[in-house]
Structure 1
Amino acid sequence: MPRAHSATPATRLMIAASESDANLFWATQFLAPDPVVFIEHRGRRYLLLNDLEVDRGMKEAEVDKVLSYSEIEKKLSNKNGKKPVMSDVIAHVLKGLGAKELTVPATFPLSYALQLKKRKFKTVPKPDPFYEERVLKTAREKAAIKAALRHTGEAIQAAYRVLRESKIRGDRIYYRGEVLTSERLRGTINLHLMAQNCLGKHTIVAGGNQAVDPHCEGYGPLKPHQTIVMDVFPRSMDSQYFADMTRTVVKGKANEKIRKMWHTVKEAQEGAIRRVRAGVDGRDIHQWIQSYFEARGYKTGRVKGRMQGFFHGTGHGLGLDIHEAPRVSKVSEILKAGTVVTVEPGLYYQGIGGVRIEDVVYVKKGGCEVLSSCPKILEIP
């Protein structure tokens, strides 16, 4: 794991469960379901673990030293005659290192900050990215994301197979004699992911007008001849890295409005991908897509009380978090070589439905590499 550069803070402190805190896992490569204490001081990394985790930490954690919480706790108890609280144990380690000012994540618990203040330590919150190095992906990280994307593409293709095998009867789709619902098709995707040790949570399978709300997970029977948006963003349990991919299909026959909208989104995505390269402002790519849609008659705004058109960002960084830096949106942000971002334009209109197509790219000098692979199909007969 790369070390922090000299320009970074002298001392960092995190108290969190690395299973759910990407910064802590990135810094230690150690998964813990309960909060642990991490200290980085002048380039050296320390992990403070309880008796349950200390032996495993010594074997697995990529840190310079694993410290036993109970040993320090016992030492302080013998010295002071009372059982210390966690902030006492942390203060003891920090004093031994000579640390005074602590850079902490913006989400650092206020209670610990106040307790450390009483012990003469200054905490300075730092917004994400807490580690700037996390934004630039190593070859290992790129490979981990690509592997998760491969499983995601296969899961979407498993959904394609279900739709191909399904039959249309009236305004319903039937799969093996039962009505095909968003829940059932989502189950197909998630079960395929689980078999590849990937965890799919909040997988979107939304049909028709449900998909006009981009984050609607979808529910109830899917209908033929309407768009079905499948947005799949699992986390690999092997690497802890996320994938993110979206495809939009129609079971049956797409009408002319759907067909035009689908091809417009596909063309916009392809044009955006061609524009991704190191040194480009993500805002310029986002604004290009907005202009592309506008020029083809797709207006964005509030209609009958709800937003319609293209009203979300074009993309976001991807890694140990599903959403991380950089953004490709209305906010200015220069893309750097080595970053991984999604490209996911979409159009959403009541009465037509939603269309979104999403892939993941690795930013390079002079262009980008598309990491995801899954056929883009409009109609499944």
Structure 2
Amino acid sequence: MDRTLFTDDHDVYRELVEEFVTREVTPNLSRWDEERLIDRPVWLAAGKQGVIGLSVPQEYGGGGQPDYRYQVVVIEEFAKAGATSLISSFSLQDNIIVPYVADLGTDEQKQGWLTGMARGELIGAIAMTEPGAGSDLQGIRATAVRDGDEWVVNGQKTFITSGINADFVIVVARTDPDAGSRGFSLVVVETGTPGFTRGRKLDKVGLQAQDTAELFFDEVRVPAANLLGTEGRGFAHLMERLPLERLSIGTAALASAEAVFAETRRYCFERRAFGRPIGDFQNTRFVLAEMATELDVTRAYHDAAVLALNEGRLSAVDAAKAKWWITELQKRVIDRCVQLHGGYGYMLEYPVARAFVDSRIQTIYGGTTEIMKEIIGRDLARSEG
């Protein structure tokens, strides 16, 4: 089925990204995994090539291009190279951190942080999850207390993407203990601030090159001007940006599943058993047919969601549907691709094996599958009320 999501401009941009992947990404993938860290040069190169920061307004050094389809192109090309850790890191920057600063920041904040991100010189992170608060963000215990012209931040965060590399962290903190969901705010803490320390780089099952960390805040004092957005509206700010965050996770999941399927399809007609390609056996053809159909149908929903996002019509419920369905599909597809590879599918030298371990987190972060279904279910219940 022909895909009509993209225009000629997107195709030209894809060529630029393909060249970037060949030059800057593929030669470094193994080293990044071994070092368990994506180093700075690729960020700087991406900034120069417009592979990151494309949505940053032009007055702050970016491309001024809000069309999410360009992000889809980047994610798809990274997925073809098996650069799932880089997808996670760059997608956090472009689809979460940049929109927070661009939408909520003062001009001074934008000049300081957006300009650096557009150049690939600054890396941002957002600290929501705590040891005792994951999907239930109202369980957050980190605090930010106003003291004159400063905020004093205390608490602990964990599972923070880009936590080691980050130059600044948007901390979700409780600023009014008596205000319930209206008692949270977003406060930015920059690297080097006294009392802000990083714990260990967490040893994950997959996404080895993507740095995930524990963060600690002990009487961390930051200027009052480091409040991002409106005091007490931290939850509202989070909720307003969840459709983009969750769709971006779905985009990465679909791109990875399609890349692994394409590689597996080739493998099935190259690998021989009992005197013929394994793709000539009926069971193999049926499994391939099932995956091809599921991917095509899912792509149609995903692409419709992309257009809805561009037009400002993507609801939190529709984004939740995309997030849980596509990430669960990714797990199913890649698991079946491992099976079709046989013993080779369990060897990390094969892309399918690396994709297998990298995919497992997708149904957890950004809101678990169970939370996505709860969001959808509550909406259904309200509509019947």
Fold similarity call, TM over 0.5: no
Q: TM-score, normalised by structure 1?
A: 0.24
Higher strand share: 1
| Largest Rg, 1 or 2 | 1
Q: TM-score, normalised by structure 2?
A: 0.24
Higher helix share: 2
